[in-house]
Structure formats: C-alpha cells, structure tokens
C-alpha cells in the first residue's frame, strides 16, 4: 500500500478509523470541475471540491491484455450545473484525474499531497435519466 504516501498518511491509513476519499478533477478547455467522493464539500489548498455529487467510481478490471478498459464515473444529475455542463460543453478529450485523499482524523482536513491514482482522457459521456425508471 506504499503508493508514495507520506508517513502521516500511512499512520492514518493503518488506524481502525481511517477517513479517506477520492478527489475527482475534470479539466475541459473552458472549465475545471472538482468533486469529492464523500458526503461533504471540502476545500483543499484554496480549491473547492463538491461533495455529494459522485455516486460511484468503478475502476477497470486489470488483466494481462493490452486492451483499453473503461473507468466508469457516475455523477448525480440532481446538480443542474453537471447536467448543463454535460449538455453544453464537449467533455470528450477532457482530462480526468483521480486522487486518493486521506483526512486528518482530528481536523477532517486533507493531509497534504493526495496521491494521484490515475490520469485519463474522457472518451465519451452518456446522459441517462434514471428518474422515471422502476
């Protein structure tokens, strides 16, 4: 579990009550979107990360082939800004970065230097209306 963690991150991760989340950054030609896969909004190094918008992050299964595999990111459509962006901004070819952030258990602040988990390009965006499905 080394992945370049600093000692205080490793100490928190080794504890029974480690709090951590993914920070998701989507960089388009016109705007940068930042989401935290947790139940609250947070600020890290003067940058706001919106919580409660990420429903799931599904990493691809790794295998020995050289084939490309998709990472699936599901965002909540109850945020009108996400829906408006998906409809108005071409997200294909945007950069998507996912960081693993560890929180200080006494302050619930991100311990500096979250680990870059992956850096990818967005190939396409699907909008799915789940509101009317049983």
pLDDT digits (tens, 9 = 90+) for 63-118: 666 666 666 676 765 566 666 766 666 777 888 898 988 888 888 888 888 989 88
Residue 127 inside a domain? The answer is: no
Residue 126 inside a domain? The answer is: no
pTM of the model: 0.74
Residue 2 inside a domain? The answer is: no
Residue 92 inside a domain? The answer is: yes
CB 47 within 8 A of CB 35: no
CB 31 within 8 A of CB 89: yes
Query: How far apart are alpha carbons 83 and 79 in whole angstroms?
Result: 7
Query: How far apart are alpha carbons 79 and 41 in whole angstroms?
Result: 13
- The number of domains in the chain is 1
Residue 133 inside a domain? The answer is: no
Within 10 angstroms of residue 98's Cβ, the number of other Cβ atoms is 21
Phi, psi dihedral angles at 130 (to 5 degrees): -95, 0
Residue 23 inside a domain? The answer is: yes
- Decide which of 19 and 89 is more confident: 19
Q: What is the pLDDT of residue 82?
A: 64
Tell me the C-alpha to C-alpha distance, in Å, between residue 8 and each of 14, 15, 45, 118. Answer: 10, 11, 18, 22
Residues in the chain: 134
Mean of pLDDT values over 19-48: 86
Q: Which residues pair with 7 in a beta bridge?
A: none
Place of tokens 């991760």: 13
Q: Which structural domain, as residue segments, surrounds residue 107?
A: 7-121
Residue 103 inside a domain? The answer is: yes
Residue 85 inside a domain? The answer is: yes
CB 24 within 8 A of CB 73: yes
């Amino acid at each position: 579990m080394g992945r370049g963690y600093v000692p205080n991150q490793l100490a928190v991760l080794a504890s029974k009550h480690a709090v951590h989340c993914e920070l998701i950054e989507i960089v388009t030609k016109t705007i940068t979107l930042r989401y935290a896969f947790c139940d609250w909004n947070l600020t890290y190094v003067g940058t706001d990360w919106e919580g409660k918008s990420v429903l799931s992050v599904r990493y691809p299964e790794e295998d020995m082939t050289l084939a490309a595999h998709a990472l699936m990111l599901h965002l909540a459509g109850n945020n009108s800004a996400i829906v408006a962006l998906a409809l108005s901004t071409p997200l294909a070819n945007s950069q998507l970065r996912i960081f693993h952030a560890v929180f200080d258990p006494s302050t619930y602040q991100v311990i500096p230097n979250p680990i870059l988990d992956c850096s990818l390009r967005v190939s396409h965006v699907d909008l799915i209306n789940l509101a009317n499905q049983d």
